[in-house]
Chain A
Amino acid sequence: KQEVTQIPAALSVPEGENLVLNCSFTDSAIYNLQWFRQDPGKGLTSLLLIQSSQREQTSGRLNASLDKSSGRSTLYIAASQPGDSATYLCAVGFYNQGGKLIFGQGTELSVKP
């Protein structure tokens, strides 16, 4: 069974810290991995998309890496701000799943001023 796991489930940091969110998956046959942000009660905002042939993607203060062989991805957030407080979800597209995304349960991030 293909599964996606995110650790930790919740994280609280002071403003200004650099932080790393983790995502692991059980099958290396992926075509891409996408990181999303979700504010309470809202939809998903795409942050970064990494294709299976790529090692990392960057957008502003965000950097996502992908290591298929170890089944891991990390989302690095530099110089965190209170506005970064949200739930961060990792979603994996596996080759034999016909376009279906499998999500982790998310990491709830709180950045304290």
Chain B
Amino acid sequence: ETGVTQSPTHLIKTRGQQVTLRCSSQSGHNTVSWYQQALGQGPQFIFQYYREEENGRGNFPPRFSGLQFPNYSSELNVNALELDDSALYLCASSHRGDGNYGYTFGSGTRLTVV
């Protein structure tokens, strides 16, 4: 059973650019969530995807968008990058409806905006 994998592991972008982060969910999981973790803080919920539809969104502007594919993998896109977008981005997957609802997290993508 493979876990959650994220790519790339590290990324440096310039303010104003766009970035795409990728996530492969754990085998058997059909729900993917994205979180942003600033240094020294707990992760903050960005949004969740279930059956390729956005299924809940946190307090993030529309320039944060996402996709979920038929194989349940997912992308997080951030447009018009700002310095404050520098953070660790975490992807989590879950098998919704199995009564467990625990989440498995990936190792994250460290994004630095300069």
A57 to B100, CA, bound (A): 13
How many chain A residues touch B (Cβ–Cβ < 8 Å)?
26
Shortest Cβ gap from A99 to chain B (Å): 5
Encoded as 1 (CB less than 8 Å from any B CB) or 0, chain A from 37 to 72 comes to: 000011111100101000000000000000000000
Question: Given A34-B102, A98-B56: A89 and B42 within 8 A (CB)?
Answer: yes
Q: Determine the interface band of chain B, counting residues with CB < 8 A from chain A.
A: 20 to 34
**Are the CB atoms of B106 and A41 closer together than 8 Å?**
no
- Interface residue from B33, B105, B107 paired with A100 (Cβ < 8 Å): B33
Knowing A43-B107, A44-B90 are in contact, say whether A99-B42 is a contact too (CB < 8 A). Answer: no
Q: Chain B: residues with CB nearer than 8 A to chain A?
A: 6, 31, 33, 35, 40-45, 48, 50, 55-56, 58, 88, 90, 92, 94, 96, 99-108, 110
